[in-house]
């Protein structure tokens, strides 16, 4: 029995250490609790019977707090990105859902002199986060420029579509037409190196009826959503990038 408990302690403790070291504290906490079980049992058995109830209540409370911490990390906290960052598209997971959102310690901290380079991602018609299209080719590098080194990025702006917006036009797509809507977007700005939220705001899509040549959708009733003009990005995000 003692050998089995020692084995559980060593194996679970090793896994917990590995998880914490690799940026997965939620799993590290769970395996840490498993590793603590054998010494806790030994300790309780050594305590006089009259005090065991109080010890068990205290241990249960501590474990509940640790499990709550693990749940918080699993659901709400961003996870550390594992691997290299070679292009701006690699930062896409900064805009993923709660349980999948990541931060990138390989990138730069949001501090120092301006400008503060930003990587832009927007929700497209397939509900996928992609880099915006139709950005001016001559825009400054810090504005998600094609030649921006991803390691120099300080901010990630994630634009989630929160409303279809006004109908603009019917766009011919092969043998049918697909409606184009202006759309509005909720933008959340994160520090890329830590995943901390810096701010949020709203952007409007291009109000002009400009039909794309091609649009991908997995819906039976597809829609096309206009992306913001570059002037809209700079109007909303300049206070983070340029100040």
Q: Highest mean pLDDT: which of 21-35, 55-69, 173-187?
A: 173-187
Q: What confidence tens digit (pLDDT) does each residue in 116-170 have? A: 999 999 998 778 889 998 899 999 999 999 999 999 999 999 999 999 999 999 9
| pLDDT value for 149 | 96
Task: Evaluate if residue 3 carries a pLDDT over 80.
Answer: no
Name the pLDDT band for 67 (thresholds 50, 70, 90): low
The pLDDT value given to residue 48: 76
Percent residues over pLDDT 70 in the chain: 77
Q: Which of 123, 95, 96, 118 is nearest to 185 (CA)?
A: 123
Instruction: Show Cβ contacts of residue 12 under 8 Å, excluding neighbours closer than 6 positions.
Output: 31, 32, 34, 35
Residue 138: predicted pLDDT: 93
pLDDT band, very low/low/confident/very high, at 79 (cuts 50, 70, 90): confident
Average pLDDT across the chain, whole number: 84
Backbone angles phi, psi at 93, to 5 degrees: -70, -10
Indicate if the pLDDT at residue 2 is higher than 70.
no
- Within 13 Å and on the Cβ side, how many CA atoms surround 102? 16
């Amino acid at each position: 029995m003692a050998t089995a408990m020692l084995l559980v302690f060593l194996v679970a403790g090793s896994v917990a250490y590995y998880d914490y070291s690799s940026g997965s504290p939620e799993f590290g906490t769970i395996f840490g609790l498993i590793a603590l079980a054998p010494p806790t049992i030994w300790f309780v058995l050594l305590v006089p019977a009259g005090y065991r109830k109080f010890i068990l209540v205290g241990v249960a409370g501590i474990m509940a707090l640790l499990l709550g911490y693990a749940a918080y990390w699993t659901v709400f906290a961003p996870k550390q990105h594992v691997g290299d960052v070679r292009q701006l598209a690699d930062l896409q997971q900064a805009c993923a859902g709660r349980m999948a959102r990541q931060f990138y310690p390989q990138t730069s901290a949001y501090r120092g002199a301006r400008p503060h380079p930003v990587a832009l991602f927007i929700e497209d018609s397939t509900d996928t986060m992609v880099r915006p299209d139709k950005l001016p080719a001559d825009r400054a590098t810090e504005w998600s420029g094609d030649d921006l080194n991803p390691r120099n990025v300080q901010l990630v702006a994630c634009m989630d579509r929160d409303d279809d917006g006004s109908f603009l036009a019917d766009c011919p797509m092969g043998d049918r037409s697909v409606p184009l809507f202006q759309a509005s977007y909720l933008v959340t700005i994160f520090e890329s190196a830590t995943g901390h939220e810096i701010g949020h705001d709203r952007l409007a899509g291009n109000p002009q009826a400009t039909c794309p040549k091609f649009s991908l959708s997995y819906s039976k009733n597809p829609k096309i959503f206009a992306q913001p003009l570059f002037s809209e990005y700079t109007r909303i995000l300049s206070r983070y990038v340029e100040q």
